[in-house]
Amino acid sequence: MHQAVNFSRRNFVQLGGVATLGATAASIYSPAIAQAGELIEGAPVIPSFFTAPDPIAETDIAEAYDYDLVIVGAGNSGIAAAAAAVKAGAKVAVVEKWNTANGQGSEGSGIDLDESDEAAVQYLVNTHLKGNSWRPRRDVVETWAHRSGEALHYLLDFFADCENPLKYEYEPGEVEPVAYPGTDKKATLFWVVPTEGNYMKALKVYADFLASKGVDFYYETPAMQLVQDEAGRVAGVVCQNADGAYIKFNTTKGVILCTGDYQNDPEMVSWYLPDLAHSEPKQIGKTGDGLKMALWAGGVVEPVGHTKMSHGYGNGPMGDEPFLILDMNGKRFCDETVTLWERQTFFRFSNETCQYVQLFDSNYAEQVEGWGGKATPAEKFPTYMPESDEHNGKGKLFQADTLEELAGKLGIDDVETFIASVERYNELVAAGSDDDFGKDPQYLKPVDTAPFYGIYRNAGITAITSGILTDARQRVIDANDEPIAGLYAAGNTAGGFFGGVEYQLRTIEGISIGKAFTGGYVAVETALND
């Protein structure tokens, strides 16, 4: 039995416009719709997460705490929000379902407005919008453009005295400002990075530092439901502790959702990103908790056509270089100059296992230099090789004296096809013309000199960067573009910032974390001043 829904503008938008999508999500529904907008037999089956659970009864709540602000999630945006709350002198709690703070990424970008001209800043905003098919909300992107410098510099100062301080990265001459064409106007980007390691490691240090400044962290305490008063204002959140008891966190200023994406919820992935059905999630615990709670409170997930970050292809050398690529059946399937972060698109149509191998031979160093890249020295290869005692446990690089041997080590299903594909490629190289996929001839290099090397790679989901819609002040909005009082979102929980098929890794490097830091910072400011 299909669930019948009357598609008002409100619930149509809340569903992400799914009634218009037809075969886009054919694995979920068939596109038969009645004239009046009512669903009939064969029409979409509405996923379970659109139905709010019954409210947790007050009698089932074991404890209650009072705070100015409650931040749900201790990732990049949640940690930034907590730091901003300390700056403002607010009493704040951070609830996190894991036993520690956790995040990902290595750098966050911002704009130094004091070193920039507004025309160049707007040109940079346009660059981001164009790279995302002009689908983001300009006002939301401009929040990052105009507030990221302030937010990131505050974090640099705030964490300067902790065990792993943030550091500022911008070296004139090495990183050129973004120029406004035909003028001397510029926009100066900079980056903040942990002094040691990446944010996955550093956030734990920052959380401990925040705790020393008076922030209350509640780990192993997943958020279950938002609490709204009679007027619809979000007045708290109910969580569940490790013992299974419900705890209510009351708030006078609001709840900030910083829970990340939904890659570990198959139902949400099938609904919003059905082309990822065969992709392997690279993270754990990203089950869309914040998006669901916001939906139940009247929020809107941005329209279908979500942006994915799928550049986590396994550790290994020279992942961006245009070496020969074959699928696990030994077949070539693309022009290898396609960027690492865009290859996942090909897998939807030609290789739904999202697995492939990258091949090169003993002349690789000369080839890479000719392409303008940097070759990994062969003496460093053992750290990526499962057959080596020096293996770091992450890479899957193999070496062999013959192509047959290499195919066996890589787990190729059809060795004959594998060898034939390499031979065909070498013929194209010799001819100087890629008649199969049109690869730029300068990148045609043979794989014909032993030893041969192959890297097993798996295109998985690093992150989904689309989420619940907010306005430029990080307020969660409803289907009428009105803010839901007391509810805010930041990081990958917040949408409206991206819109392309793939996250553009090189357009503005570090913008995902820069957006998370800025959003958390602005959300606190908004909540305390609303």
Residue range 283-323, pLDDT digits in tens: 889 999 999 999 999 999 998 889 988 766 666 788 889 99
Reading the block at residue 466, the tokens are 């689309």
Share of the chain above pLDDT 90, in %: 72
pLDDT of residue 275 exceeding 80: no
User: How many Å apart are CA 443 and CA 441, to the nearest integer?
Assistant: 5
pLDDT of residue 352 exceeding 60: no
What is the largest distance, in Å, between two alpha-carbon atoms of the chain?
78
Lowest-pLDDT choice from 144-158, 217-231, 336-350? 336-350
User: How many Å apart are CA 428 and CA 435, to the nearest integer?
Assistant: 7
Handedness of CA 199, 205, 210, 211 (dihedral sign): positive
**pLDDT the model gives residue 34:** 34
pLDDT band for position 105 (50/70/90)? confident
Phi, psi dihedral angles at 25 (to 5 degrees): -120, 45
**pLDDT the model gives residue 173:** 57
User: How many Å apart are CA 467 and CA 263, to the nearest integer?
Assistant: 11
Contact 507, 498 (CB under 8 A): no
User: How many Å apart are CA 498 and CA 512, to the nearest integer?
Assistant: 9
**pLDDT the model gives residue 171:** 66
**pLDDT the model gives residue 99:** 96
For the stretch 228-264, pLDDT in tens is 999 999 999 999 999 999 999 999 999 999 999 999 9
In 259-284, which positions are buried (b, 16+ CB within 10 angstroms) versus exposed (e)?
bbbbbbbeebbebbbbbbeebebbbe
**pLDDT the model gives residue 326:** 94
Q: How many C-beta atoms lie closer than 10 Å to residue 172's C-beta?
A: 9
Following DSSP, what letter does each residue of 75-138 receive, concatenated? SHHHHHHHHHHHHHT--EEEE-SSSS-----S-EEEE-GGG--HHHHHHHHHHHHHHTTT-S-H
Q: Which domains does the chain have, with CATH numbers?
A: 1-46 (no CATH), 59-263+463-529 (3.50.50.60), 324-458 (3.90.700.10)
For the stretch 31-74, pLDDT in tens is 333 333 444 455 557 889 999 999 999 999 999 999 999 999 99
Contact 414, 327 (CB under 8 A): no
pLDDT band for position 354 (50/70/90)? confident
pTM of the model: 0.85
Contact 494, 139 (CB under 8 A): no
For the stretch 401-427, pLDDT in tens is 999 999 999 999 899 999 999 999 999
**pLDDT the model gives residue 170:** 83
**pLDDT the model gives residue 298:** 97
Contact 152, 190 (CB under 8 A): yes
